Amino acid sequence: MQENLYYLLRERSLKSPVDLGLEIVGGKTVSYADLDNGSARIAKLFQELCLVPGDRVLVQVDKSPQAVMLYLGCLRAGMVYVPLNTAYTATELAYFLSDSEPRLVVCGPQAADKIELEAARIGAPHVLTMDERGAGTLMEQAGTLPPKNDILSLKSGDLGAILYTSGTTGRSKGAMLSHGNLSSNALALHRIWGWIPGDVLIHALPIFHVHGLFVALHTAMLNASRILFLPRFDADKIINLLPRATVMMGVPTFYTRLLHNPALTHDACRNMRLFISGSAPLLKETFESFETRTGHRILERYGMTEAGMITSNPLDGERLPETVGFPLPDVKARVADEHGVALGTDEVGVLEIKGPNVFQGYWRAPDKTQAEFRDDGYFITGDLVRMDQEGRISVVGRAKDLIISGGYNVYPKEVEVCIDNLEGVAESAVIGIPHPDFGEGAVGFVVLHRDANVSERSIKDALADSLARFKIPKKFFFVDELPRNTMGKVQKNLLRERYSDIFRNTGP
Ligand code: MCA
Ligand code: AMP
């Protein structure tokens, strides 16, 4: 049986009338037939470059329809797509290159020289470029080739993508997602969110993470829907598009920013069917203000890179704030203590899950994979949850030391290591503090060596060489010492309490 995800996406998306596909706002539409043709030419290029199924294609490019073609081309030809946040620095990229060992790297033209050197160092034979308009050497070369129209026959366990997600202790781990993981999740979401013919999706998310790449694109393609494709979030543009759209997906920051715009009204949302939020907790306050202003109850769902979407509030039943709803069909969920012992109704514990959406393990890291699974195959999410009598889940915290800022993950440990390596720094702690725009904002506490000549500015500048800017703490405090418990562990809770309102007056 053909279990290549692209087979399913192609079959369903090509049912649309010819002009449907990605509509570049203020520009032309790249139809699903165009996407199919572009992906087939890219598949031909892979063949010309002697890439074989299973080879990794590492991609760090801006959002464009051609970037979507590249993703679909990888699926179609059996390559493993490895997307990276465009904010990652050359230092971060060097790690992803050596870990994933791609045969092809596609990057922005301005980064190409540096990346060619890195690629040569690890033996990646090909580096091609793609700019924010989708132009560059990749499309130049693919455009001259005939389309390779077949779709490689794959099994559901074959890998479709590796998405990097950081661990709590150190370097990022590559979560291996199979065609079956992705297609089972896409089909379930398409069904439970009640997609109907004529639905139009506003797509303003980045396409290097699960939310924008898989959840949004796959469900819209399964529905052969028009996608209003924005390069990035822009509140004014989105509000202008709302009367033409029926579905929008976003991180909570999208919703708080929309609420700051007086043009967001009941009338602007008259055509909308569904607003979906995820990737970070949606505050009750945001949920309620949005309902008052627009008449819509945002549907909150919960997921993670390793498993795609895990739970969702119901389309037709009660959508409750501060809950993430019920496990998706086919997803089994239980709440357990740190030893994996199941807890009862309403008890707080770690969510453990099993299902066709759960990934195949971490790339070349069997020990890390083993550590995150129970013997009976349940995956330990690291999220602290409570499940009520009906099976409805609320995320109440995280067992993992993680900050989620505007939907991006910031791993304190990774940032602390970089700060600690700076001259003059004795030690540091990084925590997340409630932030009105980003949900949580990272804050750094730094203990300096005596006579060190270090300022907040000098730390931020130094970190910018090694860390993506969204990971750099928004504020730093210089302290004489970090609060520690009797075991010597830094008491981040105390810092979180003491500094809880430092972002109170920060606007979007
Ligand atoms: C940008 N900056 C940020 C963030 N984004 N700082 C902290 N957190 C952020 N998320 C910084 C930039 O580095 C820059 O700092 C300054 O803010 C302005 O940058 P700009 O590019 O103008 O920001 P923006 O366009 O306003 O972006 C904010 C955003 C964006 C629209 C909220 O971050 C975004 O699109 N987030 C969505 C993330 C997402 O898709 N997550 C899904 C992950 P400086 O001035 O210092 O340079 S998938 C997932 O989590 C799971 C599976 C799930 O459940 O979905
Ligand atoms: P990522 O590593 O980017 O896949 O982020 C996954 C994490 O985002 C999850 O483990 C949760 O901690 C968090 N997350 C995603 N959706 C929600 C949500 N609706 N509410 C609370 N946390 C969420």
pLDDT in tens, 207-243: 999 999 999 999 999 999 999 999 999 999 999 999 9
Q: What is the number of the ligand 1 atom nearest to the C-alpha of 251? A: 37
Record the pTM: 0.97
User: With contact defined as beta carbons under 8 Å apart, do 185 and 222 qualify?
Assistant: no
400 lines ligand 2 (CB under 6 A): no
Specify if 219 maps to a domain: no
| Structural domain count of the chain | 2
Rounded Cα distance, 478 and 391, in Å: 45
278 lines ligand 1 (CB under 6 A): yes
**What CATH number has the domain bearing residue 446?**
3.30.300.30
- Nearest alpha carbon, ligand 1 atom 49: 279
Closest by CA to 130, choosing from 234, 225, 38, is 38
Model confidence band, residue 167 (pLDDT cutoffs 50, 70, 90): low
For residue 253, report the distance from its CA to the centre of ligand 1, in Å. 9
303 lines ligand 1 (CB under 6 A): yes
Q: Which of 94, 125, 153 is the last residue of a domain?
A: 153
Q: What is the number of the ligand 1 atom nearest to the C-alpha of 206? A: 40
For residue 414, report the distance from its CA to the centre of ligand 2, in Å. 18
**What CATH number has the domain bearing residue 65?**
3.40.50.980
290 lines ligand 2 (CB under 6 A): no
Residues contacting 415, CB < 8 A, separation 6+:
430, 442, 444, 463, 467, 471, 472, 473
- Cβ burial of 387 (10 Å; 0-12, 13-18, 19+) is buried
Specify if 345 maps to a domain: no
The rounded mean pLDDT for the chain is 96
Specify if 125 maps to a domain: yes
Residues contacting 327, CB < 8 A, separation 6+:
310, 311, 333, 353, 355, 391, 393
Reported as a single tens digit per residue, the pLDDT across 448-483 is: 999 999 999 999 999 999 999 999 999 999 999 999
Q: Which of 93, 127, 153 is the last residue of a domain?
A: 153
Q: Which of 124, 153, 182 is the last residue of a domain?
A: 153
Residues contacting 479, CB < 8 A, separation 6+:
445, 446, 447
Q: Which domain range does residue 82 map to?
A: 29-153
Reported as a single tens digit per residue, the pLDDT across 27-81 is: 899 999 999 999 999 999 999 999 999 999 999 999 999 999 999 999 999 999 9
Specify if 241 maps to a domain: no
381 lines ligand 2 (CB under 6 A): yes
Specify if 142 maps to a domain: yes
Q: Which two tokens stand for residue 132?
A: 């924010």
